[in-house]
């Protein structure tokens, strides 16, 4: 399958995962704990350009956010970081859970998740089926945790995965690059946002020539 087929606007959706203050802002929960969030600043311009391109080509945009609250804080979930406290991470109705430098519009879709993968106990799969989406264009943070978890589950559910190397960010370069290698080898296709936008422009031009 060609990349043009993999990102066909009629069968694709752009997933924007966990671009929220607590993950991305230097004063967010992870930034204050000393995590390196500098990769986010490098990828945000690419991501916002691609979001604009997606709107122009009528590609559905699904913003996925993490929300934690007492009712979702299971024992296994809260002990997962071996004693490191993240009790304030993306708590419901807080600044930390707000989107960071991306702005969903009324026509966009927002899916709320409580675990790493956006497919676990959410409406994402139902939304994708309703939109007749077969191809997932993956962006967001963190490359090796929530974006990778969602991409893996999407592949297991028979979606075709396109993973954006310049619209994803991790808290270390090594973690970012390891996921890109793993995804490209086993779970999908790793490309840049310019490659995707180029395919959309090419498809639009071909369509206009046939009309």
- The pTM of this model reads 0.94
Confidence of residue 206 (pLDDT cuts 50, 70, 90): confident
Cα(180)–Cα(169) distance, integer angstroms: 11
Q: Which domain holds residue 17?
A: 3-210
Phi (first) and psi of residue 14, to 5 degrees: -95, 120
Q: Please check whether residue 200 is in contact with residue 53, taking contact to mean a CB–CB distance below 8 angstroms.
A: yes
What are the tens digits of pLDDT across the range 189-201?
999 999 999 999 9
- Active site residues per annotation: 18, 113, 146
**Closest C-alpha to 191, from 137, 122, 129:** 137
Distance, in Å, from the CA atom of 143 to the CA atom of 178, rounded to the nearest integer, reads 9
**Does position 133 have pLDDT exceeding 90, yes or no?**
yes
- Residue 136: strand, helix, or coil: strand
Q: What is the number of structural domains in the chain?
A: 1
3-class secondary-structure state, position 192: coil
Q: What is the CATH number of the domain that holds 175?
A: 3.40.50.850
Tens digits of residue pLDDT in 64-119: 999 998 888 888 877 776 545 556 899 999 999 999 999 999 999 999 999 999 99
Nearest-10 Cα torsion for 115, 120, 121, 123? 110
pLDDT of amino acid 207: 74
């Amino acid at each position: 399958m060609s990349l043009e087929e993999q990102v066909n606007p009629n069968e694709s959706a752009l997933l924007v995962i966990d671009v929220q203050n607590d993950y991305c802002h230097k004063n967010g929960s992870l930034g204050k704990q000393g995590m390196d969030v500098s990769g986010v600043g490098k990828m945000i311009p690419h991501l916002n350009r691609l979001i604009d391109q997606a709107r122009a080509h009528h590609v559905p945009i699904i913003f996925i956010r993490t929300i934690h609250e007492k009712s979702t804080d299971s024992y296994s979930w809260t002990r997962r970081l071996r004693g490191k406290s993240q009790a304030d991470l993306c708590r419901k109705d807080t600044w930390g859970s707000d989107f960071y430098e991306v702005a969903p519009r009324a026509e966009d879709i927002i899916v709320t998740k409580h675990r790493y993968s956006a497919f676990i106990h959410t409406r994402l799969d139902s939304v994708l089926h309703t939109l007749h989406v077969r191809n997932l264009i993956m962006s967001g943070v963190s490359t090796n945790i929530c974006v990778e978890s969602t991409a893996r589950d999407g592949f297991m559910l028979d979606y075709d995965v396109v993973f954006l190397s310049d619209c994803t960010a991790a808290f270390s370069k090594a973690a970012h690059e390891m996921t890109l290698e793993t995804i490209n080898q086993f779970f999908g296709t790793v490309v840049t946002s310019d490659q995707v936008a180029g395919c959309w422009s090419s498809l639009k031009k071909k369509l206009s020539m046939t009309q």
